[in-house]
């Protein structure tokens, strides 16, 4: 529809109709089913609010969507279609690894492919917008939603943010098989005080701009149609009511002209934050801040009319917001085709089709991170291997946000290894959820299935299996429901019953590979003392078991690197590589010196650093060579290494380039990732790997908050992880 027609439509709409466009309910307001993905909000929704709503969330299924859309448009005074939105975070029915795992692949194509598959399946099921990508920078393993992010690094998150939006939207979200992307949660939701979800975020403007905003900007540059406001207060102002953040930063500086949607009940929560007297004031603050859609509360529906009639809110603000919602529908082609791609036949063909399963398996294989290996891996098919642990048969491996997928479709380790033809036996050894306990997941309750009286017998059976095996693969970790939204944890150690299992097995067989399932970094100190190999598989998705088999048996070597530091202990958190020197740098040669920046009881260094990961072969790096040692403004220089596979098998290496601004008008991080390249080399093969360094890469917000590159000396590091000391220096004039 032409823009002029949209304006005419807006002009014809009543005040009630316009306000209706800003309301988003879930399927519980319509026939058909829905999945409530947030706290139950007050149910004061009027019949008119529902009849004139502008969008709906968590309603899926081609038939369902078409039926609701048809009925809605018939009843609507101007027959304006709904927008159907849903949380498709790492897959719709065919589930890819969780985003944190995808970040570990250090290969944005993995994320782009996953988003493309998700868009094809979800759009056939009637979804028109996904509440993804979540690009919140995360540096606190206590926070459950780190699983939804691609990690602790500004550059890595930005690269992935763009790839995900391109995967969902393609070059035109109106096209078949594409869906609108909603980048979230704006802003800085990933830095809640104390790692506790929904908590206040205290950030300096410089840290916000240098570290937390770039990934959202990257998603907007890629064309994301929507932005979702975050639950948190940023420096004590709720995001949905934060005019500076939403109008100054998002719209003025970043130039975002699309639609802003609140997170679930976030407008009403302005009141609960204590930043509004009541829902009416919350509605005023949110609309003034530029929050267009009110997800799942009555603030806009019940109070905007009053506020406008009382002259407390300018109707122009309402018209702006409504026009952005109409423009969203127009960008999706809904005025011409309100059902978009909803198609029952396509649904049957696409969901879980072989091609999508294959893509999910290939993606999963790239996400696994090998943290230790004394040569015990890869396994040989003829070896007798005892797969032991609560994850051997577990199918809850698709990630907390895979709310439209079915765990039963997942390939467990037992199924994957058996299908692969491994000479394997399987014993659970202990429960993932203690007997009689339960964990409330995002949309279902998980209850322990074991019987306490069987605990000892189960353990003994596992120890016996270990004794009779050449090697043991211990499959352990946190439960999927212990990650995701509202899953903050103060204890990130491996559950005691799993450590006991490990210790008992180690008494009879030391050839132990620990395979870790998690949605966050965990404290692996105890595991490290007894494991000969550690493979982090995160939550690997629908094809987890088959991907694991192919990596364990060496068909595909592991190629992942950590997208988030694994702390030595939770006491270090938030811990991340791009930290600051401090005025009393820790002297590793003299850790005993008191007056330096250190802990008295634990090291400063994480157990495993950002960017770290092994493969089944070894690589050597030459020294860093520079095309020149002086970078002219507007110019560029090249930094290169010669990478060689000096091992005996083909493998992958993620060559990482970090840059340190040695002196700035403000303190600068010890180093920052500015480039990475993932290569596969055969044994003996070598390749020159070059990075182009530009002035843009060196920019930061200086003492005056100008985003510039300051003249001076820089150190460039190129190596295998964020600890590399392989370096060279250049100056910027």
Would you please indicate which residues are annotated as catalytic (active-site) residues?
A: 263
Eight-class DSSP state of 15? H
Tell me the Ramachandran region of residue 327: left when phi exceeds 0, alpha when psi lies from -120 to 50, beta otherwise.
alpha
| Chosen residue from 211, 263, 268, 372 binding ligand GLC by CB under 6 A | 263
Nearer to ligand GLC, 264 or 568 (CB): 264
Rounded to whole angstroms, the Cα distance separating 434 from 450 reads 7
| Number of H-type helices and E-type strands within the chain | 21, 29
Question: What dihedral angle (degrees, nearest 10) is formed by the CA atoms of 594, 576, 228, 702?
Answer: 70
Helix (H) or strand (E) run with residue 536 in it: strand 533-536
Q: Does 190 bind ligand GLC (CB under 6 A)?
A: no
Per the CB < 8 A criterion, the answer to whether 99 and 89 are in contact is: yes
Rounded to whole angstroms, the Cα distance separating 668 from 662 reads 7
Q: Kind of pairing, strands 83-86 and 129-130?
A: parallel
Q: Does 23 bind ligand GLC (CB under 6 A)?
A: no
Token pair, residue 594, equals 């008191």
Q: Does 271 bind ligand GLC (CB under 6 A)?
A: no
Token pair, residue 660, equals 């340190």
How many Cα neighbours within 13 Å face the side chain of 3?
1
Q: Does 37 bind ligand GLC (CB under 6 A)?
A: yes
Q: In what order do the strands lie in the sheet with 129-130?
A: 259-261, 226-229, 180-186, 129-130, 83-86, 55-57, 23-26, 294-295
Q: Does 264 bind ligand GLC (CB under 6 A)?
A: yes
Helix (H) or strand (E) run with residue 19 in it: helix 15-21
How many Cα neighbours within 13 Å face the side chain of 180?
28
Nearer to ligand GLC, 57 or 548 (CB): 57
Nearer to ligand GLC, 262 or 724 (CB): 262
Per the CB < 8 A criterion, the answer to whether 716 and 657 are in contact is: yes
| Chosen residue from 76, 184, 428, 561 binding ligand GLC by CB under 6 A | 184
Where helices occur in 229-268 by DSSP H, the ranges are 243
Q: Does 57 bind ligand GLC (CB under 6 A)?
A: yes
Q: Under rule CB under 6 A, how many of the chain's residues touch ligand GLC?
A: 9
Per the CB < 8 A criterion, the answer to whether 458 and 430 are in contact is: yes
One-character DSSP codes across 47-91: HHHHHT-SEEES---HHHHHHHHHHHHHHSTT-PPPEEEE--SS-
Nearer to ligand GLC, 269 or 672 (CB): 269
Nearer to ligand GLC, 129 or 360 (CB): 129
β strands within 651-711, DSSP E: 651-661, 672-681, 686-694, 700-701, 707-708
Within 82-101, the residues that bind ligand GLC by CB under 6 A are: 87
Rounded to whole angstroms, the Cα distance separating 618 from 49 reads 63
Rounded to whole angstroms, the Cα distance separating 493 from 478 reads 9
| Chosen residue from 38, 144, 416, 563 binding ligand GLC by CB under 6 A | 38
Rounded to whole angstroms, the Cα distance separating 173 from 183 reads 14
Least CB distance to ligand GLC at residue 461 (A): 41
- The SS3 assignment for 330 reads helix
Where helices occur in 125-251 by DSSP H, the ranges are 154-169, 205-207, 214-221, 243
For residues 461 to 500, the per-residue mask of contacts with ligand GLC, x marking binding by CB under 6 A and - elsewhere, is ------------------------x---------------
Q: Does 269 bind ligand GLC (CB under 6 A)?
A: no
| Chosen residue from 131, 212, 216, 612 binding ligand GLC by CB under 6 A | 131
- Which of 126, 110, 134, 127 is CA-nearest to residue 180? 127
Token pair, residue 429, equals 């050894």
Q: Tell me how far the alpha carbon of residue 428 is from its chain's centroid.
A: 30
- Which of 253, 186, 189 is CA-nearest to residue 226? 186
Check the CA dihedral 495-498-503-509 and report its sign.
negative
Rounded to whole angstroms, the Cα distance separating 135 from 119 reads 18
Helix (H) or strand (E) run with residue 512 in it: strand 512-517
**Cβ neighbours of residue 454 under 8 Å, at least 6 residues apart?**
none
Q: Which residue in the block uniquely carries the two structure tokens 């927008």?
A: 83
Per the CB < 8 A criterion, the answer to whether 153 and 578 are in contact is: yes
Least CB distance to ligand GLC at residue 729 (A): 43
- Kindly report whether the peptide bond that precedes residue 574 is cis, defined as omega within 30 degrees of 0: yes
- Which of 589, 559, 602, 575 is CA-nearest to residue 520? 575
One-character DSSP codes across 201-224: B---HHHIIIIISHHHHHHHHTT-
Q: Kind of pairing, strands 727-732 and 294-295?
A: unpaired
Q: What is the contact surface with ligand GLC in residues (CB under 6 A)? A: 37-38, 57, 87, 131, 184, 263-264, 485
């Amino acid at each position: 529809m032409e823009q002029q027609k949209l304006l005419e439509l807006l002009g014809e709409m009543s005040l009630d109709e316009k306000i209706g466009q800003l309301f988003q309910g879930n399927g519980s307001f319509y026939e058909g089913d829905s999945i409530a993905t947030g706290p139950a909000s007050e149910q004061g929704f009027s019949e008119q609010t529902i009849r004139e709503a502008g969008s709906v969330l968590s309603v899926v299924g081609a038939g369902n969507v078409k039926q609701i859309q048809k009925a809605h448009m018939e009843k609507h005074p101007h027959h304006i279609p709904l927008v159907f939105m849903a949380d498709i975070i790492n897959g719709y029915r065919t589930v890819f690894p969780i985003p944190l795992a995808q970040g570990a692949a250090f290969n944005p194509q993995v994320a782009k492919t996953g988003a493309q598959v998700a868009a094809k399946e979800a759009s056939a099921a009637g979804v028109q917008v996904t509440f993804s990508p979540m690009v919140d920078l995360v540096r606190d393993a206590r926070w459950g939603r780190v699983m939804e992010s691609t990690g602790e690094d500004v550059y890595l998150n930005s690269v992935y943010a763009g790839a995900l939006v391109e995967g969902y939207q393609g070059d035109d979200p109106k096209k078949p098989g594409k869906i609108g992307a909603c980048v979230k949660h704006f802003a800085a939701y990933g830095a809640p005080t104390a790692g506790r979800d929904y908590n206040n975020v205290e950030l300096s403007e410089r840290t916000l701009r240098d570290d937390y905003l770039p990934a959202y900007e990257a998603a907007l540059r890629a064309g994301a149609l929507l932005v979702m406001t975050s639950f948190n207060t940023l420096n004590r102002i709720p995001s949905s009511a934060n005019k500076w953040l939403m109008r100054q930063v998002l719209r003025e500086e970043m130039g975002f002209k699309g639609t802003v949607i609140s997170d679930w009940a976030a407008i009403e929560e302005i009141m609960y934050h204590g930043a509004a007297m009541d829902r009416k004031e919350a509605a005023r603050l949110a609309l003034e801040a530029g929050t267009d859609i009110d997800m799942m509360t009555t603030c806009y529906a019940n109070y905007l009319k009053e506020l406008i009639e009382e002259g407390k809110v300018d109707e122009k603000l309402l018209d702006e917001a409504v026009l952005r919602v109409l423009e969203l529908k127009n960008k999706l082609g809904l005025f011409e085709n309100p059902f978009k791609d909803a198609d029952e036949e396509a649904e049957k063909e696409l969901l879980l089709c072989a091609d999508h399963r294959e893509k999910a398996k290939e993606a999963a294989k790239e996400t696994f991170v090998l943290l230790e290996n004394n040569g015990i891996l890869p396994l040989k098919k003829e070896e007798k291997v005892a797969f032991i642990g609560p994850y051997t048969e577990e199918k809850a491996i698709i990630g907390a946000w895979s709310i439209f997928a079915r765990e039963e479709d997942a390939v467990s380790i037992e199924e994957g290894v058996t299908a692969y033809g491994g000479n394997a036996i399987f014993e659970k050894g202990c429960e993932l959820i203690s007997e009689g306990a339960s964990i409330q997941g995002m949309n279902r309750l998980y209850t322990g299935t074991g019987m306490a009286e069987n605990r000892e017998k189960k353990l003994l059976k596992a120890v016996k299996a270990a004794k009779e095996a050449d090697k043991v693969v211990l499959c352990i970790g946190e439960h999927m429901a212990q990650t995701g939204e509202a899953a903050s944890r103060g204890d990130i150690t491996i559950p005691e019953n799993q450590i006991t299992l490990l210790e008992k097995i180690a008494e009879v067989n030391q050839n132990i590979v620990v395979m870790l399932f998690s949605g966050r970094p965990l404290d692996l100190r105890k595991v490290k003392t007894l494991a000969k190999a550690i493979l982090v598989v995160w939550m690997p998705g629908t094809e987890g078991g088959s991907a694991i088999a192919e990596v364990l048996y060496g068909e595909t070597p592991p190629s992942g690197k950590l997208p988030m530091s694994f702390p030595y202990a939770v006491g270090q958190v938030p811990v991340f590589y791009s930290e600051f020197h401090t005025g009393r740098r820790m002297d590793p040669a003299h850790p005993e010196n008191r007056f330096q920046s250190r802990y008295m009881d634990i090291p400063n260094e994480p157990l495993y650093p950002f960017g770290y990961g092994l493969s089944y072969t070894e690589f050597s790096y030459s020294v860093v060579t520079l095309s020149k040692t002086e970078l002219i403004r507007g110019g560029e220089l090249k930094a290169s290494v010669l990478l060689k596979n000096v091992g005996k098998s083909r493998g992958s290496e993620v060559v990482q380039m970090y840059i340190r601004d040695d002196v700035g008008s403000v303190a600068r991080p010890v180093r920052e990732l500015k480039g990475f390249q993932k290569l596969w080399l055969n044994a003996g093969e070598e390749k020159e790997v070059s990075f182009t360094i530009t002035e843009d890469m060196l920019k930061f917000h200086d003492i005056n908050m100008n985003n510039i590159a300051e003249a001076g000396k820089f150190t460039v590091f190129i190596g295998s992880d964020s600890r590399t000391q392989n370096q060279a220096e250049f100056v910027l004039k």
